[in-house]
């Protein structure tokens, strides 16, 4: 991922230098397990443990010749080992995937922990924003058209729960990608004892793979990437709400606009939802990782490396981008400007059409058939749409024409927006308990 969208902590997880540090750590743990079992000389452990990991530049230089990154790493690391002869026992009984998949599991869990911390923060910000606006009356929209009265906190609560569920999916995926596989060339432990795998997994705080055939099958990694894609898409759902709310014709929501910020190179009046649009664009990047990574599940027999090049691109990019999206979305919600007066004005802008559902039921309960009540209310509503006459006036007119008596005091009661949201208390109790 380009530097523009890479935050330092996540960027380090996927850096070449950190990767080689992890490779050195895994190889050292394997060597220690061999030495403890008496399979290799105990005196080689300390020199290997003390050898600094090679630099990415040195590994790349050797790889120009070897065309094999693990061999290049092992050669470069051996050059850093004193005495160099101790390095002969490094990678003992292992194959490349033992090292690669185990170190990748550590990277995936490290990346996940960073993401989970940010997801926790976003859930908390959404929760607090929803509670702060539990009484902020607005119009609910279906198909983009005014429907019935709602409160802004209700809409945000839905997004808060969605993010909490998405975070929990990622937490579950973490346990499945955190696996160690050190089982040899085709996964049969022919040259390495299964106890080594157990010892390394314990040292890393991970678990041994249920099975490996040199590589760990990629279903769990696919699940992990899919969890990131859902998180990114929930971030986009939040951003889309802001993008709609910031339209001039709506003007209920807006992103924070800092001193000195510019909205357009040509039009000085512009205040554009650039953060929300960036979120929408980058969510596509994360979703784009799902299919390529999933296609790494079917490999030829015990192993091929068609998954390798894909994962070198998409696993870092997906997690770096999801990390940035969580950061960006948290700031968007925390600093969101809510125009409560404009929300109320928009609610009232259709002259009372948002109350037709309650009026319909009132007429049915007063004795009209549903068909007759619907026809009466719809005819009044269409006149309001076309002429702009307030709905109560057109309703009176149509009711008089149909010989239907209206209870004006009752209509006053049911045509209050607060009546529509009176039963949302338990929902907000659940929101308050969200962690």
pLDDT digits (tens, 9 = 90+) for 350-394: 999 999 999 999 999 999 999 999 999 999 999 999 999 999 999
Q: Percent of the chain having pLDDT more than 70?
A: 100
Distance CA 201, CA 250 (A): 55
Distance CA 254, CA 137 (A): 17
Q: Which of 95-104, 127-136, 251-260, 308-317 has the lowest mean pLDDT?
A: 251-260
pLDDT given at position 334 = 97
- The whole model's pTM is what? 0.94
Distance CA 427, CA 151 (A): 12
Give the Cα-Cα-Cα angle 30, 31, 34 (nearest 5 degrees). Answer: 90
Catalytic positions: 143, 264
Q: Which of 72-81, 115-124, 210-219, 221-230 has the lowest mean pLDDT?
A: 210-219
170: pLDDT confidence band, cut at 50, 70 and 90?
very high
**Of residues 270, 285, 272, 271, the one with CA closest to residue 235:** 285
Mean pLDDT of the chain: 95
Tell me how far the alpha carbon of residue 324 is from its chain's centroid. 10
pLDDT digits (tens, 9 = 90+) for 190-240: 999 999 999 999 999 999 999 999 899 999 999 999 999 999 999 999 999
pLDDT digits (tens, 9 = 90+) for 256-272: 887 777 877 778 887 88
- Mean pLDDT to the nearest integer, 132-157: 97
Q: Encoding tokens for residue 96? A: 């490349």
pLDDT given at position 265 = 74
């971030």: which residue's tokens?
Answer: 235
Own/partner contacts of 355-358, CB < 8 Å, gap of 24 or more, are: 355/391, 355/414, 355/415, 356/381, 356/391, 357/148, 358/414, 358/415, 358/419, 358/420
| 3-state percent breakdown (helix, strand, coil) of the chain, nearest 5 | 65, 5, 30
Distance CA 418, CA 347 (A): 12
């Amino acid at each position: 991922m380009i530097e523009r969208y890479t935050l330092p902590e996540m960027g380090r997880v996927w850096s070449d230098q950190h990767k080689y540090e992890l490779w050195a750590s895994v190889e050292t743990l394997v060597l220690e397990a061999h030495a403890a079992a008496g399979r290799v000389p105990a005196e080689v452990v300390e020199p290997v443990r003390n050898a600094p990991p090679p630099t990415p530049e040195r590994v790349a230089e050797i790889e120009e010749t070897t065309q094999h990154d693990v061999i290049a790493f092992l050669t470069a690391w051996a050059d850093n080992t004193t005495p160099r002869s101790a390095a002969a026992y490094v990678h003992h009984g292992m194959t490349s995937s033992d090292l690669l998949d185990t170190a990748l599991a550590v990277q995936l869990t490290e990346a996940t922990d960073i993401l989970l911390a940010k997801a926790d923060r976003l859930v908390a910000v959404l929760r607090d924003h929803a509670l702060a606006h539990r009484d902020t009356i607005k119009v609910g929209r279906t198909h983009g058209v005014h429907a019935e009265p709602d409160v802004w906190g209700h809409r945000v609560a839905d997004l808060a729960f969605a993010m909490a569920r998405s975070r929990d999916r990622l937490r579950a995926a973490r346990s499945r990608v955190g696996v160690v596989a050190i089982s040899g060339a085709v996964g049969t432990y022919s040259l390495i004892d299964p106890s080594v795998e157990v010892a390394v997994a314990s040292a890393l705080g991970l678990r041994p793979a249920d099975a490996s055939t040199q590589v760990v099958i990629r279903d769990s990694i696919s699940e992990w990437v899919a969890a990131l894609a859902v998180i990114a898409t929930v971030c986009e759902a939040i951003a889309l709400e802001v993008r709609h709310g910031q339209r001039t014709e709506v003007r209920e929501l807006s992103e924070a606009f800092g001193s000195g910020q510019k909205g357009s190179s040509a039009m000085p009046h512009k205040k554009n939802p650039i953060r929300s649009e960036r979120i929408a664009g980058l969510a596509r990047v994360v979703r784009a990782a799902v299919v390529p990574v999933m296609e790494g599940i079917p490999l030829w027999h015990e192993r091929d490396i068609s998954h390798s090049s894909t994962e070198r691109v998409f696993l870092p990019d997906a997690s770096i981008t999801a990390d940035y999206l969580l950061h960006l979305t948290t700031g968007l919600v925390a600093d969101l400007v809510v125009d409560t007066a404009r929300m109320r004005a928009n609610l009232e802008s259709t002259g009372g059409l948002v109350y037709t559902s309650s009026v319909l039921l009132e007429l049915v309960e007063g004795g009209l058939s549903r068909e007759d009540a619907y026809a009466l209310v719809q005819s009044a509503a269409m006149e309001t749409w076309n002429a702009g006459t307030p709905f109560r006036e057109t309703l009176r007119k149509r009711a008089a024409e149909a010989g239907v008596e209206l209870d004006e005091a009752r209509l006053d009661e049911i045509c209050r927006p607060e009546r529509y949201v009176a039963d949302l208390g338990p929902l907000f109790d659940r929101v308050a308990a969200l962690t």
